[in-house]
């Protein structure tokens, strides 16, 4: 396992690589970043994250290792298909994976996303249109959504 800590516009991020796959991205809750050894994949992940925060990258292209049940993996793959700058509801994802009554289960699978930002769970909102739950906090979710809207030349919501 290789770990890289980077600074971003939303604070420190920890990226984990295992066996040539990105397996985790976590929000760091402290200011000081540690010095890291860096593999080519971690360098590329950092490059793509930096480009994302600069509005130059809309879709990540990284080898990801998804874990969990078949249902959770379906949800994670559906999340990856949400276009940059758009939002969908948990119900929309449930419909997309062919299980219209699974909105709550989709929310739980979304909550278990170990690779946020890269797998854009921040683009999922409540059926009412309200922002709900995000592992990094609603302030970060709001920032990411507003940033994407800004770079698309749209008025942030």
Sign of CA dihedral 146, 147, 148, 152: positive
Q: Of these residues, 25, 121, 124, 140, which one is catalytic?
A: 121
38 flagged as catalytic: no
Q: What is the DSSP string of the chain?
A: -EEEEEEETTEEEEEEEETTEEEEEEE--SSPPPP----HHHHHHHHHHHHHHTT--SS----B---S-HHHHHHHHHHHTSPTT--EEHHHHHHHTT-TT-HHHHHHHHHT-SSBTTB-GGGEE-TTS-----TT-HHHHHHHHHHHHHHTTPPP-
Give me the active site residues, please: 121
């Amino acid at each position: 396992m290789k770990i890289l800590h980077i600074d971003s516009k939303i604070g420190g991020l920890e990226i984990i690589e295992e066996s040539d796959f990105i397996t985790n991205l976590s929000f760091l809750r402290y200011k000081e970043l540690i010095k890291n050894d860096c593999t080519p994949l971690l360098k590329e992940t950092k490059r793509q994250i930096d480009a994302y925060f600069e509005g130059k990258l809309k879709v990540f292209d990284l080898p990801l290792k998804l874990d969990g049940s078949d249902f959770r993996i379906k949800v994670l793959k559906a999340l990856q298909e949400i276009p940059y700058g758009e939002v969908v509801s948990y119900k929309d994802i449930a419909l997309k994976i062919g299980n219209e009554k699974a909105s709550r289960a989709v929310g739980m699978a979304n909550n278990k996303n170990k690779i946020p930002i890269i797998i854009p769970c921040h683009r999922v909102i409540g059926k009412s249109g309200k922002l709900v739950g995000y592992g990094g906090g609603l302030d970060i979710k709001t920032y990411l959504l507003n940033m994407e809207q800004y770079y698309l030349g749209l008025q942030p919501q």
